[in-house]
Amino acid sequence: MSTFKFFHKSRLARVLVLSNSVALTSCAWPPTRPELSQGTESAAAGALREWSSRELPGKSATQYSLIERAGRPCVLAQANKSASLWRRGMKLAPDQLAGLQFDWWIGSFADTASVTSAQTDDAPARLLLGFDGDVERLSMRNRMQFDLVQTLTGEAPPYALLMYVWDASAPVDTLVVSTRSDRIRKIVVGSGPRSAEHKGWVRLQRDVAADFARAFGEAPGPLISMALMTDGDNTRSRSDACYGNIMLFDPQGQVLPGSLQM
C-alpha cells in the first residue's frame, strides 16, 4: 500500500501530517516570480536571477522587493500576518563550504514572536539552508512526511533544514528543534527589539559545518538550497527586514558559486 493511500484512508491523520509538513514544503513548493520595485540597479536584479518566491499552502504571502537601504541594495521583506520565502537551488559538496557571512537590517516585529514556541514561531529574518542526505536513515514518520510532500509538490524536501533566525527574546545561540518536523533545526543568531545597536546593518558569520553538527549530531551533506524568510502568520503581526549579501566561502576563503552579491 502506498504512503499516500495510507493517509487518504484517515482524513484526520492526513490533516495532521499536512500541518506538520507545511514547513518542509518551504523548500519544495512550486515557485512564483515576485514583483520587483522599479528603478532597481540591474546588478542587484541580476544577482537575484536564480532566486524565486516560494509560497506556503494556506498562508498569505510575504512581500519581497528590491530597494536600497543606507546606500546598499537589498531584498526588503514585509510580512503582514503572512509567511513565504525567496529561495534558490544549488549544489555544493560538504568539503567545499567552510564559512558563511550574511548581512541583515532588522526592522519591526512583534515582541511576542519567538521560534521557541509553535504558537509564536515568527521572526523578522531567517536564512534557511537545505541539505541533502540519506533519507533511508530517517524514521518511518519522517519518510512518510517526505513522501507526502513530494506527492503534493512534485519535489522532495531537503534531508535536513538548518535555519538561522533573529528572535524577539531568545538568547543568541539558542538551538530549537521544530515541533512540526525534527528535520528542521533553528539557531538564534540575533535577539531583542530594535535598539541603537540594531538600527543599522548587522553582519553575521557562522561555521556551517559546526552548526550543523551541533544541531543534527552528524556532518552535513551537500548544500542544495538557500532561502530567505520573514513571517508574522503565527502571531498575526507585521514584521520587516532587509537582506544584503550572503557569502559562502571555501576553506581557502574564496567566494563560492551560489553566493548572493548585490
Q: And the C-alpha cell for 104?
A: 541583515
Q: Identify whether 144 is part of a domain.
A: no
Strand partners, 239: 79
Residue-wise pLDDT tens digits, 51-72:
998 888 889 999 999 998 888 8
Query: How many angstroms separate the CA atoms of 98 and 140, rounded?
Result: 32
Residue 209 forms part of a structural domain: yes
d(CA 151, CA 134): 19
In a domain, 65, yes or no: yes
Predicted confidence at residue 41, as pLDDT, reads: 53
pLDDT in tens, 2-46: 433 333 333 333 433 344 444 555 554 444 444 444 554 566 778
- CATH at 79: 2.60.120.260
Is-above-0.75 flag for pTM? yes
Residue 30, pLDDT score: 41
pLDDT over 60 at 87, yes or no: yes
User: Can you give the residue range of the structural domain that contains 105?
Assistant: 36-138+158-249
Residue of 127, 89, 67, 106 whose CA lies nearest to 195: 106
Q: How confident is the model at residue 139 (pLDDT cuts 50, 70, 90)?
A: confident
Average predicted confidence (pLDDT) for the chain: 84
* 223 occurs within a structural domain: yes
133, part of any domain: yes
Report residue 79: phi and psi, to 5°.
-105, 140
Taking residue 28's Cβ as centre, other Cβ atoms within 10 Å add up to: 21
Domains identified in the chain, total number: 1
What local confidence, expressed as pLDDT, does residue 198 receive? 65
Check the CA dihedral 250-253-257-261 and report its sign.
Answer: positive
Q: Name the nearest CA neighbour of 111 among 242, 243, 237, 240.
A: 237
Q: Does residue 147 form part of some domain?
A: no
Is residue 222 included in any domain, yes or no?
A: yes
- For the chain, the distance separating the N- and C-terminal CA atoms, rounded to the nearest angstrom, is 49
60, 34 Cβ separation under 8 angstroms: no
173: left (phi over 0), alpha (psi -120 to 50) or beta: left
List CB contacts of 144: < 8 A, sequence separation 6 or more.
3, 6, 7, 17
Nearest Cα to Cα of residue 115 among 23, 245, 227, 11: 23
179 lies in some domain: yes
Backbone φ and ψ of 235, nearest 5°: -95, 0
